[in-house]
Amino acid sequence: MSGGLGIIAGQGELPRLIAGECARRGMPHLVVAFEGAGTGGWAEAHPHVRLRFEKPGRLFAALRGAGCDRVTFAGAMSRPRLDPLRFDLTALRLAPRILPLLRQGDDATLRGLAAVFEAEGFVVEPAHALLEGLLCAEGVPTRARPDEQDRADAARAARLVAAIGAADAGQAAVVAGGLCLGLESIQGTDALLDFVAATAGPFRDGARGVLYKAPKPGQDWRMDLPAIGPETVRRAAAAGLAGIALQAGGVLVLGQEETVAEADRLGLFLWGRPA
């Protein structure tokens, strides 16, 4: 780790946690927040820039000016609607590479963006290499535990997630009593859980159901690993689920203690399921 870290910040807790860890270690860092990305006000406490997606030249210059030779992608980010009239010279140079990426699945898009940063001389680092204890451990840390039906539902959901992941479409599924109540797509896990809460009632037949999350087969683990936090637990509870199963070692848990405490408060289990 020879130089500073550029934090390409999206929504959620992850970029804030990484920036806080950099500050704690005294590590040079720069938070890059894009207009409209909704990162909140926490970035003001750190060296930061706010840029437009159409200005990658300014982005690379800001990173180099801050002494950053590494970058990490952290937090959810919606696909931008680019205005070609605002492109800088770097954007015009990169457009033949970047524009086709925006029409692909998330993993393919992020792999392509990582290649762009690498071509500019930056090393792309995974978030879990920067924060200890982020990856879900194997086992059940909550008071509630999965029963036989929950384990069967998690196994079925794992097969479904592997199928949609192979198509680069999503990283999560909800199954209750063997029935698939919903699959994650580009809208994300919150939208999946909201959909289940609104529509699953007639199909449950007494089973509460399980949310399962796992990386896509062959996914680039440097970016966009699936993640949960306290808000995921609250939405799972609102959807009437019994608990959340995660591929052990392959899902980020943002705020481990808070997430477990919220699951205990709401009576849900968390299960780090062996891959």
End position of a domain, from candidates 129, 157, 176:
129
Residue 143 lies in a domain: no
Mean pLDDT by groups of 10 residues along the chain of 275 residues: 82 89 92 76 88 90 94 82 86 86 77 89 92 92 98 98 93 97 94 95 89 92 89 97 97 94 98 95
- Full domain range(s) for residue 157: 148-273
Q: How far is CA 133 from CA 194, 251, 255, 257, in A?
A: 28, 11, 9, 11
* In a shared domain, residues 125 and 167: no
End position of a domain, from candidates 129, 156, 191:
129
Give the per-residue pLDDT at 40: 66
Greatest C-alpha distance within the chain: 60
Helices (H) and strands (E) in the chain, counts: 8, 12
pTM of the model: 0.85
* In a shared domain, residues 125 and 153: no
Give the per-residue pLDDT at 1: 41
Which pairs with CB-CB distance under 8 Å and at least 24 residues apart come from 129-133?
A: 130/5, 130/18, 130/21, 130/22, 130/72, 131/17, 131/18, 131/21, 133/256
* In a shared domain, residues 84 and 183: no
Tokens of 208: 């509460």
Give the per-residue pLDDT at 39: 63
Give the per-residue pLDDT at 104: 76
* In a shared domain, residues 111 and 210: no
Residue 180 lies in a domain: yes
